[in-house]
Structure 1
Amino acid sequence: MKNYDTLVDATNDLLKRGYTANLSLDGDTIDDKEQGIQMIADDFEIDEFYRFEGASNPDDMSIVYAVSSEKYNLKGVLVNAYGTYADDSSSAIAAKLHHHQVGQNLHGDDRPTT
C-alpha cells in the first residue's frame, strides 16, 4: 500500500487507478449522485483507506476510502470526516466504515487482523 502526504495526493492517485466515482455518505447509503446509485453496506467493499490529520487544525481530519462495487460495476472515492466533524450515524454503513478504520492498520494495510 502507498503512503500519501496529503488528501489531495491520495484522491488524485486513486483517480488515476480507476476510482473515478465521486461518492458521498448519505445516512444509510453511499451514493454516486452522478449515476443515481445508492449503495447499502452489502453493495460495496472498502479496498483501501487513508487517514489524514490537519497539520494546523486538529478539526481538519478526514479519511479517504477507495470503494468498489461489483453489483454496480463502479470504483470510487469517499472522503469522510472523523473526530469533531464525524458522522456519528449508527447505520450499517457507519459500522462498516468504522470496522475498517479499527480493524486494519492505517494507510490501507490489508493484512488480516486476529
Structure 2
Amino acid sequence: MKPVYHYATVLKAIEQLREKGFTEDFNLHENCLVCNTDKFQVDDFEISHIYYYEGDSNPGDEATVYGIESKSGIKGILVTGDEQDTDPMSKSIIDKLLVSRNKRD
C-alpha cells in the first residue's frame, strides 16, 4: 500500500515530498507524463506517495499530490485538480492515478 499523508495544505505536502528527494516536476501531457524533455508512458513510472486534498467549501477545489518515481530513477511530483476535467488523451495515465489514489483507503 502506498503511503498517504494528511497535511494541512497542498504546499505542505509538496514541501515534504521535496525533502524526501522528489525534486522534479511532472506534468500531464497527451497520454504521458512529461518531466523536462523526458516523456513517460503509463508503464514507465510508479506512484509511491499520494496526498489528496478536498477543499472545505467547494468540491472543485480538490487536488491530489503524487510522488512519482520513474523507472529511469527520476523522482518528482505531479499535482492534479479534478481528474474528471482532464483531456481524454490522458485517460490511461488518469486511470492509473485514480486507481492508486482509490487504493489508499
Question: How far did residue 95 of structure 1 move?
Answer: 1.4
SS at match of 2:80: strand
The structure carrying a bigger helix percent of its residues is 2
Aligned residue for 2:26, secondary structure, equals strand
RMSD of equivalent CA atoms: 1.8
CA distance in 2, matches of 1:86, 1:53: 16
* Per-residue deviation, 1:70: 2.4
One-letter code of the match for 2:21? G
What's the CA shift for 1:92? 1.7
**What corresponds to 1:101 in structure 2?**
101
SS at match of 2:49: strand
Residue 15 in structure 1 maps to residue 18 in structure 2: yes
Deviation at 1:86, TM superposition (A): 3.5
Mapping 1:1-114, distance limit 5 Å: 1=3, 2-33=5-36, 36-71=37-72, 73-82=73-82, 86-87=85-86, 89=88, 91-105=91-105
Distance (whole Å) between structure 1 residues aligned to residue 8 and residue 85 of structure 2: 21
Distance 1:96 1:58 in 2: 22
Could you tell me the TM-score, scaled by structure 1's length?
Answer: 0.79
Question: What's the CA shift string for 1:73-95, capped at 9, x where partnerless?
Answer: 21000001126x63263632111
**Gap runs ≥5 in structure 2:** none
Indicate conservation of the 8 Å contact 1:80/1:86, yes or no. Answer: no
1:111 aligns with none
How far 1:54 sits from its partner (Å)? 1.6
CA distance in 1, matches of 2:50, 2:85: 16
| Separation in structure 2 between the aligned mates of residue 43 and residue 3 of structure 1, nearest angstrom | 27
Measured in 1, the distance between the counterparts of 2:28 and 2:87 equals 12
**3-state SS of the aligned residue for 2:18?**
helix
How big is each residue's C-alpha offset from its partner over 1:3-55, in whole Å with a ceiling of 9 and x where there is no partner? 2111000001101110001111112001113xx01100000000011110122
